[in-house]
Amino acid sequence: MAALVFDAGALIAIDRGDRTVIALLAAAGQQGSEAITSSACIAQVWRDPARQVKLTRALDGFLEWSLDPISARRCGLLLASTGTSDIADAAIALLTQDGDTILTSDPTDIEHLLAAAGTNARIRTI
């Protein structure tokens, strides 16, 4: 089943209580879809867990893709091939599979990275 993939911007939207993003997350859960993000995205948004209660709770239900040595090198190669520099965006592009939907605040870079990775995913701008 297709997953719902959250970039850093989508995680920030959860943290801020964005109703649309929270509704999409709830709908994905009801449909049995997995919510996925990268540890790199979490690192970009994780600042004060005591004040980020919505994000903390939401992340309990996420699959979190870590950057191991192989995936870190794959991110670097993808960034080099696209002339971009955002490690978190590269990680999102690499963990996304065909048919997944990515929630992003940065559709241009994500589209560019997905094309280079050869992945056919839906992009939803938040």
Q: Domain 4-125: which topology?
A: Rossmann fold (3.40.50)
Per-residue pLDDT tens digits for 41-68: 999 999 999 999 999 999 999 999 999 9
Tell me how far apart the alpha carbons of residues 38 and 8 are, in angstroms, rounded to a whole number.
Answer: 9
Q: Where are the domains of the chain?
A: 4-125
Per-residue pLDDT tens digits for 84-102: 999 999 999 999 999 999 9
